[in-house]
Amino acid sequence: MMRWRLKVNFLILLLCLTGIDSARAADAQDEWRRLVEAAKKEGKVVVGGPPTAVLRRQFKETFESRFGIELELLSAPGPQNANRAISEFKAGVKFFDVLHGGSGTLQPLKNDNMLVPFMDQIVLPEVKDPKQWWGGHMWEDNLKTNRFIYSFSADFTVPPFYNTDLVKPNEITSYEDLLQPKWKGKIGMFEPRVASAGQGLWGYLMRAKGKEFLQKLADQQLYIHRDGQQIAVALARGNIAIALAVAQRFMEPYLKNGLPIKLLLNLKEGLNGSNGFGTVGMMANSPHPNAAKVYLNWLLSKEGQELYGRALTQGSRRFDVDTKWLARHNTPAAKDITTPEEFEKRRFYGEDVIQNWREPAGEFARKILK
């Protein structure tokens, strides 16, 4: 009799929980429909996004056909969009709704209260549920209890590229080898004086090797540019022999066309954990707040993450987004090769890293690079 009663009570509890879950799902669907209708009345969302025409075209076409809301995506380096947003915010101009960036890009906006708490904008259960994400929810602002900058990618920094006509196999096995006289004037690097992949590598090398090494590297007459495309062109033409901190997407056209470019793999210093161009935040004075929420929820959905990851060659943390294809580019997603705990040991992004290493490294770069 007791066992029978326990079974009955269990079934009653299960039915109650199922009913609660169904009610919550229905409420979420109703909230989402209301949000989309409100967003359609606003008619538009303005997003500062990464500098890639592929993403701009695919995102615009897919988002607009899906929701009937215009998407204005301004493709530019993260610091460029961020600096514009800061200037306009201080002048009382409402233009940007959402900003994308890499590590450190959105931190100044968060520090000046220009962003809204992120999870307050999330409606879709598939996005809100931390179990959908490798490592749960991760943040760029990881020193604070209120979170404003979401980090949806987790992979590793792209190794340096080299021109095979100028560099012999196994000629460079460490960053120390870049200090050889023969490479003077032959090293390109993404700009380390601003928040960027270049500053990330600069900070990583400062932590690993110290300022003396960076001074010697600077003495190599680096070819520094804020446009990865320009560095890629210089490498393809043989004007430089090595390219540091340049994203895969800039090199991809030359790799596909068989030009003499390869990755410098197996450097003894290893690769640090990165979130690529995979952070996002919403402006506090958003002119289209409902459309901005729709965009954020869609961005972090399966469809949005698949499009974003393939356009930028970086790994989404969503479990249901395929990232195995990144292995053929030698830029695997963290979720495919390691655990969140091991990745944390190699992480070189986030508010703590920015304060302790990336910003000091950027300040040092501004001091010694002319």
Domain check: are 246 and 281 in the same one?
no
What pLDDT score does 195 carry? Answer: 85
90's tokens: 């201080």
Query: Rounded to an integer, what distance in angstroms lies between the CA atom of residue 46 and that of residue 43?
Result: 11
Domain check: are 126 and 206 in the same one?
no
What 3-state class would DSSP assign to 24? helix
Residue 341 lies in a domain: no
DSSP classification of residue 278: -
What pLDDT score does 329 carry? Answer: 84
Domain check: are 330 and 186 in the same one?
no
Residue 93 lies in a domain: yes
Summarize pLDDT for 235-281 with one digit per residue, the tens: 999 999 999 999 888 998 999 999 999 999 889 998 899 999 999 99
Residue 177 lies in a domain: yes
- Note whether 7 and 1 are within 8 A (CB): no
What pLDDT score does 16 carry? Answer: 52
* Average of per-residue pLDDT across 26-51: 93
- Which CATH number covers residue 97? 3.40.190.10
Does 35 have pLDDT greater than 80?
A: yes
What 3-state class would DSSP assign to 240? coil
122's tokens: 């999330």
Query: Rounded to an integer, what distance in angstroms lies between the CA atom of residue 276 and that of residue 156?
Result: 8
* Average of per-residue pLDDT across 49-65: 91
Residue 177 host element (H or E): none
Domain check: are 108 and 254 in the same one?
no
Domain check: are 322 and 248 in the same one?
no
- Note whether 119 and 293 are within 8 A (CB): no
106's tokens: 């959105």
Whether this model's pTM surpasses 0.75: yes
Does 55 have pLDDT greater than 90?
A: no
Does 53 have pLDDT greater than 80?
A: yes
Query: Range of 284's domain?
Result: 2-154+276-335
* Average of per-residue pLDDT across 174-192: 97
Domain check: are 16 and 140 in the same one?
yes
Residue 92 lies in a domain: yes
What pLDDT score does 110 carry? Answer: 94
* Average of per-residue pLDDT across 222-226: 95
Place of tokens 């615009």: 60
What pLDDT score does 330 carry? Answer: 82
What pLDDT score does 122 carry? Answer: 97
Residue 370 host element (H or E): none
Place of tokens 């509890």: 13
What 3-state class would DSSP assign to 259? coil
What pLDDT score does 77 carry? Answer: 87
Domain check: are 101 and 202 in the same one?
no
Residue 140 lies in a domain: yes
In our burial notation (b when 16+ CB lie closer than 10 A, e otherwise), range 212-246 reads ebbeebbebebbbbbebeebbbbbbeeebbbbbbb
Task: From 207, 143, 106, 113, select the one nearest 352 (Cα to Cα).
Answer: 143
How do the residues of the chain divide into helix, strand and coil, expressed in percent and rounded to 5?
A: 50, 15, 35
Count: domains in the chain = 2
Residue 347 lies in a domain: no
Give Cβ neighbours of residue 201 (< 8 Å, ≥ 6 apart).
Answer: 157, 189, 190, 192, 244, 245
Residue 132 lies in a domain: yes
What pLDDT score does 333 carry? Answer: 95
**71: which strand partners?**
45
Summarize pLDDT for 72-113 with one digit per residue, the tens: 999 998 889 999 999 999 999 999 999 999 988 999 999 999
Query: Rounded to an integer, what distance in angstroms lies between the CA atom of residue 200 and that of residue 320?
Result: 29
What mean pLDDT, rounded, does the chain reach?
92
Domain check: are 7 and 104 in the same one?
yes
What share of the chain in percent tops pLDDT 90?
Answer: 80
Query: Rounded to an integer, what distance in angstroms lies between the CA atom of residue 48 and that of residue 290?
Result: 17
Domain check: are 182 and 47 in the same one?
no
Residue 41 lies in a domain: yes
What pLDDT score does 25 carry? Answer: 62
Domain check: are 248 and 183 in the same one?
yes
Summarize pLDDT for 304-331 with one digit per residue, the tens: 999 999 999 999 999 999 999 998 888 8
Domain check: are 139 and 166 in the same one?
no
In our burial notation (b when 16+ CB lie closer than 10 A, e otherwise), range 263-302 reads bbeeeeeebbbbbbbbbbbbbbbbbbbbbbbbbbbbbbbb
Domain check: are 106 and 147 in the same one?
yes
What pLDDT score does 3 carry? Answer: 61
Residue 197, Cβ neighbours under 10 Å: how many?
24
